[in-house]
């Protein structure tokens, strides 16, 4: 017995010695080498895991981190962020909760970005990138930003409020190294399009420009000169006031575009104008993403077809298309991986998806009239149903992400969808009619979502509503 205890004690001592030796090896890992390795670790979660290994790794991760993501601006103070990470170059900051998009947050709720900018100006003078979502941003904040960070390169404002085009003019005037200006779905006071003329004539660094949600006309001459100068421009999203003739001129000036956001695609064109537009799209060999089309005329759509050959993402979430229009468009998109549409396409439109897009991995179907059932278009009652969903699954076996708004569904249909596409990672289904069960059997949808969980081993998000 004593011999066994002695042996056991010896094994424990050896284990402790091994652990101590391993910790010593980890902690003695050269800091310079570790920091250089960590540069290649981009995931926020992975970097957080690295910082938990030991004190040396914590310090190395602290000094080597250049990007920080803050999902709630009230979860931490700017001072704590600065103390934790002294060498930040890029900040992503989110403010108000998501339901603020539906006017469910009172005015002056908070989420003001200025205190953050004030703190960053002294701690991060070489800040290059700022991405804000649902934050309050004033013109004064944008002017302070433009003047305080001489190396600033990228500004993205999504669902923000409090500023006007005067603030954009400050950014255009002072940010001489700007590569990205992304203004998406903001509540912005549009004082006209003269802000584009504030970019210096010597400015050539822009790679992405998005002003799709501005209401007023922009100074097209300034826009055209800007696009002509910026030979590295890859992303361009224009608003509804840019005419098709103007769009054609921009495309000719920037054949290198990989992403294009079109405003209005509805206009009376002469035969010559239509031919010029079609020729311009035919030269867009690098185009991979197409979005916008806020207003569409069927007679103009064929001009788009030459640009669709290499598309991997088609965002039609603002386009009111009928099934035959979508079917013709998709027949020219053999490489499509992501598709966003409104439910005006109906089940026939979704059948076209299944027939034309065998590589599709993501499908989102949004309701065109979510709050008024009397406004449903001729796509049929309910817009899309279970038959359209099943048709997509039969033709798109690689489907792994879906957001599907419909007005009726069955347990059997959902079970078939996941059987055809077992690789789902995100399954989000919303039946628009409250408390709507399986409309054929009147049974709860328990079996449907049980089938999703059982059949999809890689599932990371399951979202249901409307039942």
**Confidence band for 20, pLDDT divided at 50, 70 and 90:** very low
pLDDT tops 60 at residue 336:
yes
Q: What share of the chain is helix, strand, coil (3-state, %, to 5)?
A: 40, 20, 40
pLDDT class for 211, splitting at 50, 70, 90? very high
User: Quick one: average pLDDT of 182-204?
Assistant: 91
SS3 state of residue 293: strand
What is the C-alpha separation between 159 and 113, in angstroms, rounded? 13
Mean predicted confidence (pLDDT) in 208-214:
94
Task: Please report, rounded to a whole number, the percentage of residues in the chain having pLDDT higher than 70.
Answer: 90
| Tokens at 295, concatenated | 């207003």
**Which long-range contacts does 53-58 make (Cβ < 8 Å, 24+ apart)?**
53/26, 54/23, 54/26, 54/27, 55/27, 56/26, 56/27, 56/28, 56/29, 56/31, 57/26, 57/29
Q: What integer pLDDT is reported at residue 201 of this predicted model?
A: 94
Which structure tokens are listed for 223? 């826009």
The SS3 call for residue 424 is: coil
pLDDT on residue 26: 47
Higher pLDDT, 11 or 327: 327
- Position 33 pLDDT exceeds 70: yes
Other C-beta atoms lying within 10 Å of the C-beta of residue 441? 11
| Confidence band, pLDDT 50/70/90 cuts, at residue 50 | confident
Give the percent of the chain with pLDDT over 90: 68
Q: Quote the pLDDT of residue 15.
A: 46
pLDDT of 23 reads: 47
pLDDT digit string, tens, across residues 158-169: 999 999 999 999
Q: What is the pLDDT of residue 268?
A: 87
pLDDT, average across residues 304-333: 95
Q: What is the pLDDT of residues 229-243, one digit of tens each?
A: 999 999 999 999 999
Name the most confidently modeled range: 23-32, 204-213, 265-274: 204-213
Query: Residue 321: pLDDT above 80?
Result: yes
Give, in order, the Cα–Cα distances in Å from 31 to each of 24, 41, 211, 299: 14, 15, 44, 63
Count CB-CB contacts under 10 A for residue 114: 16
DSSP secondary structure code for residue 299 in this structure:
T
Confidence grade of residue 467 (pLDDT, cut at 50, 70, 90) = very low
User: Which tokens sit at 9?
Assistant: 């004690």
Residue 5's pLDDT is 44
Q: Could you please report the per-residue DSSP string of 167-216? A: HHHHHHHH-TT--EEEEES-EEE---BGGGGGS-TT-----EEE-TT--S
- pLDDT of 328 reads 96
State pTM to two decimals: 0.85
Average pLDDT for the chain: 88
């Amino acid at each position: 017995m004593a011999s066994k205890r002695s042996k056991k004690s010896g094994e424990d001592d050896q284990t402790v010695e091994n652990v101590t030796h391993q910790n010593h090896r980890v902690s003695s890992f050269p800091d310079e080498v570790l920091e250089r390795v960590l540069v290649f670790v981009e995931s926020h979660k992975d970097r957080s895991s690295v910082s938990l290994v030991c004190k040396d790794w914590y310090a190395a991760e602290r000094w080597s981190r250049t990007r920080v993501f803050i999902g709630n601006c009230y979860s931490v103070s700017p001072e704590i962020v600065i103390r934790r990470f002294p060498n930040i170059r890029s900040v992503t900051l989110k403010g108000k909760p998501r339901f603020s998009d539906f006017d469910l947050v009172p005015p002056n709720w908070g989420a003001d970005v200025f205190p953050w900018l004030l703190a960053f100006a002294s701690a991060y003078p070489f800040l290059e990138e700022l991405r804000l979502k649902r934050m309050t941003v004033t013109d004064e904040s944008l002017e302070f930003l433009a003047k305080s960070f001489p190396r600033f390169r990228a500004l993205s404002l999504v669902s923000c409020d409090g500023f006007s085009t005067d603030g954009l003019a400050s950014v255009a005037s002072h940010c001489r190294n700007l590569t990205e200006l992304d203004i998406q779905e903001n509540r912005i006071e549009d004082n006209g399009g003269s802000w584009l003329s504030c970019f210096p004539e010597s400015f050539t660094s822009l790679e992405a420009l998005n002003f799709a949600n501005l209401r007023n006309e922009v100074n097209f001459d300034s826009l055209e000169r800007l696009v002509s100068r910026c030979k590295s421009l890859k992303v361009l999203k224009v608003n509804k006031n840019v005419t098709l003739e103007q769009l054609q001129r921009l495309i000719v000036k920037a054949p290198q575009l990989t992403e294009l956001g079109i405003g209005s695609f509805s206009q009376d064109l002469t035969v010559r104008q239509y031919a010029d537009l079609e020729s311009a799209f035919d030269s867009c060999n690098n185009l991979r993403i197409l979005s916008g089309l806020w207003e569409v005329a069927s007679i103009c759509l064929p001009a788009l077809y030459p640009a669709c050959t290499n598309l991997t993402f088609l965002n039609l979430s603002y386009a009111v298309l009928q099934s035959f229009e979508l079917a013709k468009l998709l027949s020219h998109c053999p490489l499509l991986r992501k598709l966003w549409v409104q439910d005006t396409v109906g089940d026939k439109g979704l059948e076209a998806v299944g027939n034309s897009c065998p590589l599709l991995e993501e499908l989102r179907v949004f309701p065109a009239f979510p709050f008024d059932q009397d406004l449903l278009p001729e796509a049929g009652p309910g817009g899309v149903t279970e038959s359209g969903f099943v048709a997509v699954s039969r033709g798109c076996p690689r489907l792994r992400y879906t957001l599907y708004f419909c007005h009726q569904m069955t347990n059997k249909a959902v079970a078939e969808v996941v059987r055809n596409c077992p690789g789902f990672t995100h399954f989000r289904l919303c039946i628009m009619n409250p408390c709507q069960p399986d409309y054929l059997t009147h049974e709860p949808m328990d079996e449907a979502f049980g089938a999703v969980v059982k059949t999809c081993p890689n599932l990371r998000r399951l979202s249901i509503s409307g039942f």
